[in-house]
Structure 1
Amino acid sequence: MKGSTAYRSIQKRGLHIGLLPEMAAAVNPRTPITLDHDLDALPEAGRRLTVAQYADHVDDLAARLWAAGVRPEEHVALYKTANADHWMLAAAVSRIGAVVVNLSPALDAETVAVLLERLQQPTLLTDGPKLDTLDAAALADRTRRVITSAFDRPGAISLAGLAGSPRVRPVVRDLDAAAVITHTSGTTGIPKLVVHTARTQGVRLIPQWRLLRALRGSEPVAIHVPFVHSRMVAAMSLALLRQYPVLLLRESDPAAVAEQLLEHRPVLLEALPNSLMEWEHLADDPRGPFSSVKVFSSTFDAIHPATMSRLLGASDRRGALFFQIYGQSEVGPAVGRAYFRSSAHKANGRCVGWPMPHGAARIRVVSRDGRTPGEDNPGRIEVAWPGIAKTYHGEQDRYDANRDGQWWGTGDVGYRTRLGCLHLLDREIDMIPGVKSSLEIEDVVLGRLPELSELVVVKGPDSGAVPVICTLDDQPLDPARWRRAAAEFPQLADPVQIPQAELPRTATLKVQRLALARRFEQPPQPRT
């Protein structure tokens, strides 16, 4: 089977992650997958696999889950320590026709309990460390059974004890049935459970498949994305079907990342925006850990131009580019744009791109007040295409409230230029009176102060704009340098510096702005 044949099959029949490893093995069984950590559920597997071995492990885990009693159409909540075996277990759940619910290991026990109750007696697939954080009585009331992927625990079924179970035939669910459930970031409260189908997952691959034609040959691609996120489905599917050797990174420590990049020399690096910000100082490493990268890629949040420029400057590849995709779990990739070495430092970080070609999403900006949306009067950003998630599990009313026919409200505000570029200014809930765009302020000031590792402008108790700053190694910031850098933004209060470790973050490292804003009980004093 050729990769293009497999891709056409997905276009027609949808993307079933339980079948993906087997399809990829049929394309090229020798495609390598390398990990920077051991698999908890399969410690004997090692850190270097072929796709054929990967597919066999998924089939083996599916057999064990079947022997544990999991059956088609059941919900299986997968909540375990971050590890690449999460994605393998998710594929195994899907392979036997059950619906995997990916829960981030960053979620606290109380939130997990609420989501388990919403799922109405799911199977919980976990590991010892995570199981120990959960309330046993609550689990007894809210789950059908508990399975551990590693570590034995009383009252739980251990997958390790089911090794060698008879293999079972895959179960293929309907194209529009629930296939995978992920969750939103939870920046404003309990996360919503986002339901994806084989159709919606397959549709999302279409524009990205053609964009990858820019990469030729079979150089490695490095992926540093949360294993639980819907983006992981697309990233793994695209890489395996196009036969790219894959380096799956779990560790985020810059020194460890540098060693992996130097050893494997990837041509493409996909990572979270905040991870790239944490790593950007590696651009100064004389060994050149980024020198092999031709394409840097990021989704989830818009990334600061200064970071893009620094990364591109560290690449030795001709035509190196940074490709940014704007989207969210509910809609997948909405718009994108490429930034190049010669111009990234001059880019407007609020311009997140244009609709991608080849059957991608459509975008519109809707007025919030009856006036035409524009730079000084942003409108609501909406998306339409068949890749939009099917529903919020257990919260159909909340889902319906976000839809206007075929159009989905992203919750973001912005405008489109005469050339059609979508400018993202803020989340609507985060807008601050008198501030055109908090994100724009952050772009500008971060570009002027390289000693800053993070800047977040949040709403204070009197609706003023409070800049919260973090610095490299938590060193004190020179007040005079701050005043010069922020001089054009007199609406800002004096900055509040906190250790970076104290920033409240989501599973995808987004700063939880509302939680951060709640830290300020006294009104800030405007700068004079």
Structure 2
Amino acid sequence: MKSLRAKLAADPAIGTGNVLATVLKYGADPNGPGLTFDTPVDHFPAEHPLTLGELDERVQARTAWLHEHGITRRDVIAIWATEAQDIVLSFLALTRIGAIPALLNGKMAPPIADEYIRRLRVTAVLADANHRPLLETDILAEPRDLGQGDPAKAPQHYQHHADDPVVITHTSGTTGVPKAVLHTHTTLYAALKHLLTMPQAQGTDRILNALPIPHTATILMVNQVLGNRAEMLLLSSQDAPYVLENIERWKPHAVYGFAVTWAGLAREDLSNHDLDSVRMWFNTGDCAHEPHIRKLVAVGTRETVTREGRQTVRGSHFIDGLGSSEMGHNGFHITHTIDSDHYGRCIGKPYEFARATVLSSTGEELPPGKVGLLGFRSPTVSPGYWNDSNTTYRFRLNGWFLTGDLVYRDDTGHYFHLDRVPDAVAGFEGPQLFTSMSEERILAALPEVDDCTVIITPDNGRYVADVLLELSADALDRDRTADVKAAVGDEVAAILRNVTAVGTGEVPVTVTGKVRKVALREARS
């Protein structure tokens, strides 16, 4: 008899819009794990582990409410909220009736949120009590109001076609108003179908989700744990102290997050915390920095096979890679342990379901060792940006999706990330000035630096580099210019203008924690 995971992998109709219903259809135990949230869900208290049946019933209640208020297929419904349960349960209910949830990060500035919603041309908006008064747009209801619906009055589940739009998420907004990324019923499930055919990864039976809740990555995780019949606690905040507190208390076997959370955790003395439950850290979005990874793999435990059999040893796994809302899933993967030596911003190799290459500005594929644009092909890639075909096609070149990253690959097929295109000075001829790689080198060379930011700006016909250092609490007060010059390499060292120590929180970041280098460049130009 086929296992549930095998049935899901073989089902041509399953996708992001119907995972919960499909898992139940194939006989999953309604008393088995559903989802756990860090805030109350209707009459359930915070951190009550909703069973699969309870989760379905709460989603049905919201589906009934939406149906009674005239929401139907293809309606675009914006959701602006902070609590994980507001976003995830609304998403599950809206997809059940064929509507298209558009998820907004709760940290988005109100004027940008209003403009983003206007560009979406939404049918209605759901906003929680904190965000409701910040919008000029009319609000249909607060997400928690949807829980008042009668589950018995929920309509039939909408039958999704493979290409049906099921969710709109947004980019981090490093250059202004975020781009609205569309995903279909199948694009966000293609990677999960592949993973269902493989052995379940160590640690993925009990997951702490420290990813931004409105992000594509959280939608992936919800569908993954439902299919794996795993436990997951979803956090409404990704701040490192809150994540650390929940690791110690809830004792997950895996923690999923962005690079900004790992940087925050690495600032702590992790030896003073009980992190033994963690087997695996999983990073998506920007690739993580070596010093941060090394601090994390030094704690926790993992299982390994020895001559004496399977044993638990000190130190955890860290799975790094590179992903984005548009890519639909991490496109690359590389695993680190305490014994790793393959760093230098190595993002590993593409997953089996994906293809990658390095392109010239005109679309020719470049050989190993040559820096160029990262081109990506995968069934997970977004079909485009909602209401913005111009931007959609600008990021296509010779049949490849352009991720906006500068990379090279070595002779073994491993890819290395150098920078984001807007942040670098890297023509195919001329200077090769990379901010992200410079940051990596500074962090590796100066252990007293917790985090750093490099900005390169034009100045009277030349380029100059400014470096902002976030120092550990016990760092000595001294000039580190010579150390930074020695670390970054000759080309960046030659244009170095200032090295400045800054406090935590002084560097402007986006809603997902990415540094807003465009704002820093404008301030220094």
Q: Same fold (TM over 0.5)?
A: yes
State the shift of 1:383 in Å: 0.7
Q: Is the alpha carbon distance of 1:372 and 1:147 closer, same or farther for their aligned partners in structure 2, counting shifts above 3 Å?
A: closer
Contact 2:5 2:196 in 1 (8 A): no
TM-score (norm 1): 0.86
Matched residues, percent identical? Answer: 23
Aligned residue among 145, 149, 152 for 2:143: 149
Q: Partners of 2:201 and 2:153 in 1: how far apart?
A: 43
SS in 2 for 1:460: strand
Write out per-residue CA displacement over residues 292-321 of structure 1, whole angstroms, 9 at most, x where no aligned residue: 222211000010111111111112324432
Q: Secondary structure at the match of 1:508?
A: coil
- Given candidates 145, 155, 180, the residue that maps to 1:193 is 180
Aligned to 1:228, the other structure's residue is in SS state: coil
Q: Which amino acid aligns with 1:149?
A: P
Greater displacement, 84-93 / 365-374 = 365-374
1:351 aligned partner: 346
Distance 1:274 1:64, change over 3 A: same
Task: Report the counterpart of residue 321 of structure 1 in structure 2.
Answer: 317
Contact kept? 1:2, 1:27, Cα under 8 Å: no
For residues 332 and 453 of structure 2, the distance between their equivalents in structure 1, rounded to whole angstroms, comes to 24
**Pairing partner for 2:260 from 274, 281, 286:** 274
Provide closer, same or farther for how the CA distance between residues 369 and 493 of structure 1 changes in structure 2, counting only shifts above 3 A: farther
- Structure 1 counterpart of 2:141, which letter? I
1:225 and 2:211 aligned: yes
1:327-386 alpha-carbon deviations (Å, 9 max, x no partner): 21112221111112112xx332321110122xx110011123899847875111101122
User: Quick one: which amino acid aligns to residue 330 of structure 1?
Assistant: E
AA aligned opposite 1:504? P
1:156-176: per-residue Cα shift (whole Å, max 9, x none)? xx4366466722211123210
Q: Could you say which residue in structure 2 is the equivalent of 1:459?
A: 456
Paired position in structure 1 for 2:279: 294
For 1:134 and 1:467, the matched residues in 2 are separated by: 37
Whole-angstrom distance in 1 between the partners of 2:484 and 2:252: 36
CA 1:168–1:388 in structure 2 vs 1: closer, same or farther (change >3 Å)?
A: same
Secondary structure of 1:31's counterpart equals: coil
1:326 CA drift (Å):
1.2
CA contact (8 A) 2:344 2:440 kept: yes
Residues 34 and 53, structure 2, Cα contact 8 Å, conserved in 1: no
Rounded Cα–Cα distance in structure 2 between residues aligned with 1:33 and 1:285 = 32
User: 3-state DSSP class of the match of 1:128?
Assistant: coil
The CA deviation string for residues 200-240 of structure 1, in whole angstroms up to 9 with x for no partner, is: 11212234445662327x84221111111111121121122
Contact 2:38 2:236 in 1 (8 A): yes
1:385-438 deviation line (CA, Å, top 9, x unaligned): 222111211111211122235311111111111111111111111113645432
Question: Counterpart in 1 of 2:312?
Answer: none
1:484 is paired with a residue of what secondary structure?
helix
SS of 1:47 mapped into structure 2:
coil
Kept in 2: contact 1:118–1:394 (CA 8 A): yes
Question: Residues 285 and 179 (structure 1 numbering): CA distance in 2 closer, same or farther, change over 3 Å?
Answer: same
2:510 to 496, 503, 506: 506
Quote the Cα distance in structure 1 between the aligned partners of 2:130 and 2:43: 16
C-alpha change, 1:257 and 1:184, in structure 2 (3 Å) is closer
Check the 8 A contact 1:35/1:47 in 2, yes or no: yes
Q: How does 1:464-475 map to 2 (within 5 A)?
A: 464-472=464-472
Matches of 1:169 and 1:370, distance apart in 2: 47
Aligned to 1:116: 117
For the aligned residues, what is the CA RMSD?
A: 2.7
Kept in 1: contact 2:363–2:397 (CA 8 A): no
1:511/1:229 CA distance change after superposition, 3 Å: same
Cα distance change of structure 1 residues 131 and 223 upon mapping to structure 2, 3 Å threshold:
same
TM-score scaled by length of structure 2: 0.87
Structure 1: distance between partners of 2:355 and 2:176: 29
How many Å separate the matches in 2 of 1:423 and 1:386? 23
Unaligned runs of 5+ in 2: 305-315
Structure 1 residues 247, 212: CA separation in 2 closer, same or farther (over 3 Å shift)? Answer: farther
Structure 1 residues 292 and 14: CA distance shift in structure 2, 3 A: same
Q: Identify the range of structure 1 (301-310 vs 464-473) with the bigger mean alpha-carbon deviation.
A: 464-473
Structure 1: state its 5+ residue gaps. Answer: 151-157, 522-528
Whole-Å separation in 2 of the counterparts to 1:459 and 1:374: 27
1:372–1:96 distance in 2 versus 1, CA, 3 Å: closer
Matched-pair contact (CA < 8 Å) for 1:84–1:227: no
